[in-house]
Amino acid sequence: MVRGVLAGRQEAAQWITQNPDAAALIYAKHVDLPVPAAVSVVKGAVKSNVRNVGFNSAALKRATEAAVVSGFKGDVKYCDFIDTSYLPSGATAELPTKCGA
């Protein structure tokens, strides 16, 4: 089931990337936002790739650095709570650390 949900999300993200104006119209309707604002939000999200189903290693590293600045101590054990085997084919599965033996 998890693989199916992630594959569906990946398909939706690809559609949004290929059809940002149409996606913005749907978004505007659902959140009661003016269409020009929705277009800006959707195109910004597409540009920054925030709808990717996979993992962005650089973004995870930045989040970890921010946590350290905020007082977090220790290592983030990505391999203990992220299982990339559930990701659909083509999803970015790069973590900031190597998992497995």
Q: How do the domains of the chain map onto residue ranges?
A: 1-53, 54-101
User: What is the C-alpha separation between 19 and 46, in angstroms, rounded?
Assistant: 10
What is the pLDDT at residue 50? 62
Q: Say what angle helices 35-48 and 20-31 make with each other, to 10 degrees.
A: 120
Q: 28: pLDDT confidence band, cut at 50, 70 and 90? A: very high
Q: How many residues does the chain have?
A: 101
Q: 51: pLDDT confidence band, cut at 50, 70 and 90? A: low
> How much is the average pLDDT of 1-12?
82
User: What is the C-alpha separation between 83 and 39, in angstroms, rounded?
Assistant: 34
Long-range Cβ contact pairs of 23-32 (< 8 A, separation 24 or more): none
